[in-house]
């Protein structure tokens, strides 16, 4: 199995949350077979039967490891994407992990980690090899540092769903904090130098106490082999899921919080040791910015209701009239890569249908609770019940609205999260809703006091003053 191939999920013989592979630094890290990876189980066949016969006769067995280059490693230990097709039903395709952390020793070659130029060379090689199978939003990124946990002459490669490398200078949109009490919460750091999350486009985070386990670390008060995996949840009413690994604890329990999630974990250690904690708190906020998407009205601040979304003719000119809105299991638009997509409302210019990401097929011709209607200059998407799609906290003063992906470069009212909400098809190009407005003339987000009495547009958003806050 390799990137681009159709695969069967049951054939995947590796964990996809985090993959750790040791290698040598003596050679070309991209092309030379420097990494010693656990050998994958062989498919039934003549070669496989030969190895089994040889093992039974005492003459050896299947190889325990195999030498691979970094490109071969990413090609063989890949992720998967499943989607539905009109003729072949459900298909699962191998796609590469394109965020890689290379951890080196503190002495010898690469003693300070790989240089920026070397990292960019590796990124270019990965992009060239897997170009058609790479998500343009997250692209290819290599992170590197040195650590005393790595033996001289070796390198540790980390990749997987829980590995995310932010851009140089990028700031996180959200935050993860961990501690033995609510008064002592600290953020996991990536390679000890910057917050490990949560960044735009980041869909998961693996973190541990030791760099020998994960590149994102924080003091957990447990053995160094323990680690946690944070991702989006698929259950109704719950947007996040936390999975402990090698952690001596009861199942994490959810606590009331103003953040998006707060877990309390009671730890049970085999021995009494001052290094170990009795409990652990893990708090997650998906987006800390004042302009974040809200599923409920904010307390203590006037707010705007999101009455609908508008796809203008300018958004789809020169191509097929097609666009879709992605929804979570509770029927709210997505606003983060950490939120699991449950369904999409798809309009192709002729009809509106609901696509289920559970069954990988269209399950409704009407859009199940949503309507798309034509107006003078485009299409308008609204819930048929009249309820808001969500809410936005109104800025205290009129502020420039921004749809730019590099949101941290300007002090604006940032609406780049709309890229996760839906897409428009413009010829052969697919754009997120924010990206489609990123280079349009500037618009101002009004304060609540200066907002029009009726509905008003801000990019693709149709807003109105919340009923609660109207005079």
Report in angstroms the alpha-carbon separations of 174 from 286, 330, 438, 460: 5, 21, 22, 23
Residue 274 banded pLDDT, cuts 50, 70, 90: low
CB 378 within 8 A of CB 315: yes
| Residue 294 three-state SS | strand
Tell me, what's the pLDDT at 173? 97
Tell me, what's the pLDDT at 37? 92
Residue 79, Cα to own-chain centre: how many angstroms? 13
Residue 352 banded pLDDT, cuts 50, 70, 90: confident
420-465 pLDDT per residue, tens: 999 998 767 788 999 989 888 889 999 999 999 999 999 999 999 9
**Average pLDDT score over residue span 19-26:** 94
Residue 117 has pLDDT above 90, yes or no: yes
Window from 110-119, 208-217, 351-360 with minimum mean pLDDT:
351-360
279-315 pLDDT per residue, tens: 899 999 999 999 999 999 998 899 999 999 998 877 7
Tokens 């652990």 -> residue:
280
Tell me, what's the pLDDT at 270? 52
Residue 386 has pLDDT above 70, yes or no: yes
> Of residues 178 and 371, which shows the higher confidence score?
178
Query: In whole numbers, what is the pLDDT of the chain averaged over residues?
Result: 87
Q: Rounded to 5 degrees, what angle do the CA atoms 130, 134, 136 make? A: 140
Residue 135 has pLDDT above 70, yes or no: yes
Q: What span, in angstroms and rounded, lies between the C-alpha atoms of 357 and 334?
A: 14
Residue 244, Cα to own-chain centre: how many angstroms? 19
Q: What span, in angstroms and rounded, lies between the C-alpha atoms of 261 and 176?
A: 10
Kindly report the number of other CB atoms within 10 A of residue 81's CB atom: 11
Helix, strand, coil percentages for the chain (3-state, nearest 5): 10, 35, 55
Identify the CA nearest to 248 among candidates 273, 215, 230: 273
Kindly report the number of other CB atoms within 10 A of residue 469's CB atom: 14
**Average pLDDT score over residue span 192-220:** 94
Pairing outcome for strands 79-85 and 99-104: unpaired
- Tallying the residues shown for the chain, one arrives at 471
Q: What span, in angstroms and rounded, lies between the C-alpha atoms of 420 and 448?
A: 26
Residue 373 has pLDDT above 50, yes or no: yes
Tell me, what's the pLDDT at 204? 97
Share of the chain above pLDDT 90, in %: 58
Helix extents (H) in 131-231: none
Rounded-to-10 torsion of CA 53, 54, 57, 62: -100
Residue 317 banded pLDDT, cuts 50, 70, 90: low
Q: What b-and-e string marks burial along 61-71, b requiring 16 or more CB atoms within 10 Å of the CB?
A: eeeeeeebbbb
Tell me, what's the pLDDT at 277? 72
Tell me, what's the pLDDT at 55? 47
| Residue 141 three-state SS | strand
Tell me, what's the pLDDT at 129? 93
Residue 11 has pLDDT above 80, yes or no: no
Query: Looking at the DSSP assignment, which residues form a beta bridge with residue 317?
Result: none
Residue 52 has pLDDT above 50, yes or no: no
Identify the CA nearest to 207 among candidates 236, 184, 178, 233: 178
Residue 192 banded pLDDT, cuts 50, 70, 90: confident
Q: Rounded to 5 degrees, what angle do the CA atoms 99, 102, 103 make? A: 140
Pairing outcome for strands 303-312 and 378-383: antiparallel
């Amino acid at each position: 199995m390799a990137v681009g191939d159709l695969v069967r999920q049951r054939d995947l013989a590796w964990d996809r949350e985090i993959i750790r592979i040791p290698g040598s630094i003596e050679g070309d890290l991209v092309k030379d077979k420097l990494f010693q990876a656990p050998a994958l189980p062989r498919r039934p066949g003549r070669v496989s039967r030969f190895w089994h016969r040889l093992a039974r006769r005492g003459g050896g067995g299947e190889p325990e490891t195999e030498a691979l280059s970094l490109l071969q490693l990413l090609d063989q230990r890949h992720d998967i994407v499943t989607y539905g097709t009109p003729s072949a039903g459900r298909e699962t395709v191998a796609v590469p992990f394109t965020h890689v952390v290379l951890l080196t020793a503190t002495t010898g070659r690469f003693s300070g980690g790989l240089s920026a130029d070397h990292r960019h060379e590796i990124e270019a090689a990965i992009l060239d090899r897997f170009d058609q199978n790479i998500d343009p939003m997250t692209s290819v990124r290599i992170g590197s540092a040195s650590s005393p946990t790595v033996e001289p002459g070796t390198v540790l490669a980390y990749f997987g769903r829980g590995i995310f490398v932010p851009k140089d200078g990028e700031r996180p949109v959200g935050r993860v904090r961990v501690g033995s009490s609510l008064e002592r919460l600290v953020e996991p750091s990536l390679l000890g130098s910057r917050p490990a999350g949560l960044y735009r486009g980041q869909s998961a985070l693996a973190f541990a106490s030791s760099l020998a386990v994960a590149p994102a670390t924080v003091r957990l008060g447990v053995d160094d082999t323990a680690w946690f995996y944070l991702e989006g949840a698929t259950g109704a009413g719950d947007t996040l899921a936390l999975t402990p690994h090698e952690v001596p604890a009861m199942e994490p329990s959810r606590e009331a919080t103003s953040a998006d999630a707060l877990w309390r974990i009671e730890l049970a250690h085999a021995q009494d040791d001052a290094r170990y904690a009795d409990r652990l708190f893990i708090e997650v906020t998906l987006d800390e910015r004042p302009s974040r998407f809200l599923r409920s009205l904010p307390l203590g601040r006037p707010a705007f209701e999101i009455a609908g979304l508008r796809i203008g003719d300018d958004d789809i000119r020169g191509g097929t009239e097609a666009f879709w809105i992605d929804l979570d299991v509770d029927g709210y638009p997505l606003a983060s890569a950490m939120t699991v997509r449950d369904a999409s409302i798809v309009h192709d210019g002729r009809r509106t249908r609901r696509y289920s990401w559970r069954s990988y097929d269209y399950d409704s011709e009407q859009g199940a609770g949503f309507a798309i209607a034509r107006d003078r200059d485009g299409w308008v998407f609204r819930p048929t019940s009249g309820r808001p799609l969500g809410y936005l906290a109104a800025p205290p003063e009129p502020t420039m609205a921004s749809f730019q992906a590099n949101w941290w470069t300007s002090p604006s009212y940032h609406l780049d999260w709309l890229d996760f909400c839906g897409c428009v098809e413009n010829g052969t190009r697919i754009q997120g809703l924010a990206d489609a407005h990123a280079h349009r003339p500037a618009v101002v987000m009004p304060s609540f006091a200066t907002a029009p009495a009726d509905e008003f547009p801000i990019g693709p958003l149709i807003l109105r003053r919340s009923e609660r806050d109207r005079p």
